[in-house]
A and B are shown apart, each in its own frame.
Chain A
Amino acid sequence: KQEVTQIPAALSVPEGENLVLNCSFTDSAIYNLQWFRQDPGKGLTSLLLIQSSQREQTSGRLNASLDKSSGRSTLYIAASQPGDSATYLCAVKYSNYQLIWGAGTKLIIKP
């Protein structure tokens, strides 16, 4: 069964710290993996999309890596800011018809 797990479920760190969010998946035959953020009461914003042939993608202070062989992706956030507080979701596309979601990591950055 294809499953996506995100650890930790919640994380609270002081402003300015670098941090890593984890996403693991059970089946390595993926098309791509997408990281989203969701602010309370808001929609989902796409952060980074990594294709199965790629190892990492970067956007500003965000860097996402992909290791298919170990079934893992990490989202690295550098120099965290209070505005980074949100729930971060990982979604793995296995085929044209299957997008499997993690349960999310709720991140709180303390000023």
Chain B
Amino acid sequence: DTAVSQTPKYLVTQMGNDKSIKCEQNLGHDTMYWYKQDSKKFLKIMFSYNNKELIINETVPNRFSPKSPDKAHLNLHINSLELGDSAVYFCASSQLQGADGYTFGSGTRLTVV
């Protein structure tokens, strides 16, 4: 199946821990994104990588660090997790230039306790 897949689907962890979320796309897109959806369901862009190069870096705590080993993968590492980091994190991909739309992964529900 052509898709954006992210793992894990659910993540429950204690405050202060470090965790990673992985994302992979097999659509041949050159750009990948991380979005955060908070409890009010608002989607906020966090990061975007185009061909492994960071192109969008919104105001996000530097505890969040994206890593793109190649254009098909974009991982999100979070250090020293806080209660306020609890949210659903979505990975997405698209072609930066051109008419294609965005394809989203199914989300990772992170709960910090």
A residues apposed to B, CB below 8 Å: 31-32, 34, 36, 38, 41-46, 49, 51, 87, 89, 91, 93, 96-97, 99, 101, 103-104
**Do the beta carbons of B99 and A51 come within 8 Å of each other?**
yes
| A80→B90 CA distance, assembly (Å) | 28
Listed by A's residue number, 14 A-B pairs whose Cβ atoms lie within 8 Å are: A34-B102, A36-B104, A41-B109, A44-B92, A44-B104, A46-B101, A46-B104, A51-B99, A87-B41, A97-B48, A97-B56, A99-B45, A99-B102, A101-B42
* In the bound complex, CA of A44 to CA of B105 (Å): 7
Task: Report how far A96 CA is from B56 CA in the complex, Å.
Answer: 11
Cβ of B83 under 8 Å from chain A = no
Contacts of A46 in B (CB 8 A): 101-104
- Chain B, residue nearest A52 (CB): B99
Is B76 positioned at the interface, with any CB of A under 8 Å from its CB?
no
Q: Indicate whether A104 sits within 8 Å of B41 (C-beta atoms), given known contacts A44-B90, A97-B56.
A: yes
In the complex formed, the residue of A with least CB distance to B33 is: A99
Interface centre among A31, A41, A43, A44 (most CB of B within 10 A): A43
Task: Check: B96 CB closer than 8 A to any chain A CB.
Answer: yes
Interfacial residues, chain B to chain A (CB-CB below 8 A): 41-43, 45, 48, 55-56, 90, 92, 96-97, 99-107, 109
Assuming A46-B102, A96-B97, what are 9 further A-B pairs, CB within 8 angstroms?
A: A42-B106, A42-B107, A43-B104, A43-B106, A44-B90, A44-B92, A44-B104, A49-B99, A93-B101
CB atoms of A91 and B102 under 8 A apart: yes
Which chain B residues border A45 with CB–CB below 8 Å?
A: 104
Q: Which of A43, A51, A89 contacts B107 (CB 8 A)?
A: A43
What residues of B have a CB within 8 angstroms of the CB of A44 in the complex? Answer: 90, 92, 104
Query: Are A32 and B45 in contact, CB atoms less than 8 angstroms apart?
Result: no
